[in-house]
Amino acid sequence: MAIHNHVMNRLTLPVLLMAVGSLSVTGFAQDPQFSQFYANPIYHNPAFAGGAGASRLILNYRNQWPALGANYQTVAASFDTYVAPDRGRIGIGWGGQAIHDRQGSAWQSSSLSGQLAPDVTLFEDGADVMRLIGAVQATVTSGLYNPDGLSFVDQFSSGGLTNPVSIDPLSVAGVRQTFFGFSSGVVLEHQFQDRNGNLQSYWLGGTLHHIGRSLSRYDVLGQRFGLQAGLRIPLNWKIRPRGLGNEESIDRSVGFTAQYRQQGMDRQLDAGVNLTYSPVMFGVWYRGIPMRKYQQTSQRDAVVLLTALQLNTFMIQYSYDITVSTLSWASGGAHEISIWYGFDSLFDFSGRRANARRARKCQQF
């Protein structure tokens, strides 16, 4: 993240870890990030719960800055499903997620959240369908600050680390805090057929996490605000690899997706493109705000390369972050893996059989 890059540039590693520990005493640290944010949808917007139109399990793992001693590791597991409308216009998506985040040796947190996302069909005319989805999320988080192995300000002098023992209160014992939070989200999605009868779609979303946080509670990072947008355009390529199904069941598309998020002084933009010819997908993404600087530090972060294999009910995706900030290659970039498993079809996108589809289908990013 850009704010992490800025801190790393200006502080030594021990002081960085001390700063992370200080944040944890107030009960809040910066939220984890995922380069494959579209592969962990309900983490970024609870309105994506049920977005596959089927029950699905999602596992995500991220290892950021593996070459540094203070690397970040995050694991997320989620389940979500969708209850289609019965003689009405309202469907309901719901789900749950568990996340464990480890930021170096000083701070780790675990959270459990539940999402409820009813949707309303604004209009429907054959394959032309527009829906508005609103969502709420409740979360409980337990955070642990561990001072073992950290160095504190009173241990340093002009000659470096000279005092082996710190009298800083933060060096004495760990601190654990448990707190509750609420989030909300909204998504507008529109699916329609193009001139060739293929399904095209776009969606717009917004979310606000940690509702109720305020500076009066010593929260230095505050709420996390996000905007998401995506467009899926089908392609009319006519290549049929042997054994991969007929043309009607193969997804040939290009997807453009972007996300803007802000938490405290940290602002980031993720934008990229995925090219899909099932069962394979390739993508190139950029994270950062090229023209923005924070305290004279550029907000460039990373170029992300990804590849995926997606079958009817299964997807595995891998990405690597090429660091373009001042940390450069010294950080080791970031590795990320996502696995989806659907209890029903997730990726069977027949372009000309819209009437055979469920009420909702897995959003293509």
Please list, in sequence order, all residues whose beta carbon lies within 8 angstroms of the beta carbon of residue 47, skipping any fewer than 6 positions away. 93, 117, 133, 134, 135, 185, 186, 187, 205, 207
The span from the CA of 108 to the CA of 142, in Å, is: 9
In this prediction, residue 7 carries a pLDDT of 37
Q: What is the pLDDT of residues 77-128, one digit of tens each?
A: 999 999 988 777 789 999 999 999 998 777 889 999 999 999 999 998 988 9
Q: What is the pLDDT of residue 198?
A: 83
Q: Which residues of the chain have pLDDT under 50?
A: 1-27, 215-216, 350-359
Q: Is this structure's pTM higher than 0.85?
A: no
- Summarised one tens digit per residue, pLDDT across range 203-254 is 999 999 998 765 445 555 578 999 999 999 998 866 655 555 555 567 789 9
Is the CB of residue 351 less than 8 Å from the CB of residue 199? Answer: yes
Number of CB atoms found within 10 A of residue 149's CB = 11
Please give the pLDDT value at position 160. Answer: 75
56 alpha-carbon distance from chain centroid: 17
pLDDT for residue 363: 56
3 phi, psi to nearest 5 deg: -65, -35
Q: Cβ atoms within 10 A of the Cβ of 255, count?
A: 21
Which residues on neighbouring strands pair with residue 49, listed in sequence order?
none
Q: Are 50 and 117 in contact (CB under 8 A)?
A: yes
- Does residue 279 have a cis bond before it (omega within 30 degrees)? yes
> Which residue's entry shows tokens 């409980």?
140
The CATH code that applies to domain 2-356 is 2.40.160.40
Side-chain-side CA neighbours of residue 22 (13 Å): 13
- Tokens found for residue 119: 């949707």
The domain locations on the chain are 2-356
Round to whole Å and give the CA distance between 205 and 227: 6
Specify the pLDDT at position 197.
81
**Tokens matching residue 338:** 């996502």
Question: CA 72, CA 3: separation in Å to the nearest integer?
Answer: 14
- Rg, C-alpha atoms of the chain: 22
* Measured distance CA(22)–CA(211) in Å, rounded: 22
Number of C-beta neighbours around residue 17 at 10 A: 24
pLDDT of residue 247: 53
